[in-house]
Amino acid sequence: MKFSLIRPASMLAMALALASCGGGDDDTYTVSGTVEGLVYPNLVMTNNGGDDVSVAPPAKPGDPVTFTFSKKLEYGDTYLVAVKTPPLHQSCGIDPNFKLSAADTAGRLGAINARFRCYVDAHAVGGKITGLTKDNTGLELANGSVSGKVAVAAPADNTTGAAFDYQIAEVPYGETYSIVVITQPTGRFCTVENPAGTMGDAAVTNVNINCVPR
C-alpha cells in the first residue's frame, strides 16, 4: 500500500520538473499584432509568407484592432509579419514608432506584438489649363476652404496659350473637393470645368481651367 502511494507522487514530481524545463507549452510563442488607423475591410496579414489572417475594421471607428496567427512558433524560430493584401482605399505598413516589431526571433521578447498603421489613400486633383501664356501671371487656385492658395503658371516657353497639365492638393478617398479660382491672372479670365466631386481610388484629371482674354 505504501509503494502505491509513493509511485504517483514520484510521477507528479517528474511532470513538474519537465514543465519547469520547458517541456509544456512554455516553449511555444503566439505571434500577434496591432493595427491602427484601419477604416476599410479586406486587410490580410501574413507571417513568414505562409500563415495568413484577415483583419476587420474596429467596431468603434478610430480604435486599434488586434490579430493573432494560428501557427505558434518554437523558441528560436524567426517571424516576419507583413501586409499580404491591403484594405480597400488604404495603404498599410509597419508603424514608424515600432519599426523593429514585425520581425525578430521567438523567445527574445516576452510577447510578440507586430505594430502596423494604415492610412487612407489620397490622390491629386488636376487637369489641363488652356489659354494661359507665360505672360499671364498671378493665377491662384484653391480646393474650397480645405487648402491654401496654390499659384499656377504656364511653362516658360508657352507663348500661345497651349494646354498644359496641372495638379493641386491631394484629397483622401471619400472626401469631396471643390476647385475654385482665387485670383485671376493678368490679362485673362479663367473658369473651372468639372470643379467639384468626391475622391475615388485614382487621381482626378478632368478639372480643367479655361482662360480667355479680358
List the chain domain ranges. 24-120, 122-213
d(CA 207, CA 124): 11
pLDDT tens digits for 154-197? 999 999 999 999 999 899 999 999 999 999 999 999 999 999 99
Q: DSSP letters of the chain?
A: -HHHHHHHHHHHHHHHHHHHTT-SGGGEE-EEEEEES--SS-EEEEETTTEEEEEPPPSSTT--EEEE-SS-EETT-EEEEEEEEPPTTEEEEE-GGGTTTTEEETTSSSSEEEEEEEEE-EEEEEEEEES--TT----EEEETTTS--EE----TT--S---EEEEEEEEETT-EEEEEEEEPPTTEEEEEES-EEE--SS-B---EEEEEE-
Residue 169: what pLDDT? 84
Q: How far apart are CA 121 and CA 154, in angstroms?
A: 29
State how far the Cα of 198 lies from the Cα of 171, in Å rounded to an integer. 9
Question: To which residue does cell 473637393 refer?
Answer: 177
pLDDT at 200 over 80: yes
Beta bridge partners of 73: 29
pLDDT band at 145 (very low <50, low <70, confident <90, very high): low
Q: What angle do CA 15, 18, 23 make, to 5 degrees?
A: 120
Residues 29-48 have pLDDT tens digits of: 999 999 999 999 999 999 99
CATH of range 122-213; options 2.60.40, 3.40.50, 3.90.320, 1.10.3470: 2.60.40
The 10s digit of each residue's pLDDT in 63-117 is 999 999 999 999 999 999 999 999 999 999 999 999 999 999 999 999 999 999 9
Which phi and psi angles does 11 have, rounded to 5°? -65, -40
The CATH number that domain 24-120 falls under is 2.60.40
Closest CA to 102 of 84, 86, 115: 115
Q: Is the pTM of this model over 0.85?
A: no
Q: Do domains 24-120 and 122-213 have the same CATH topology?
A: yes
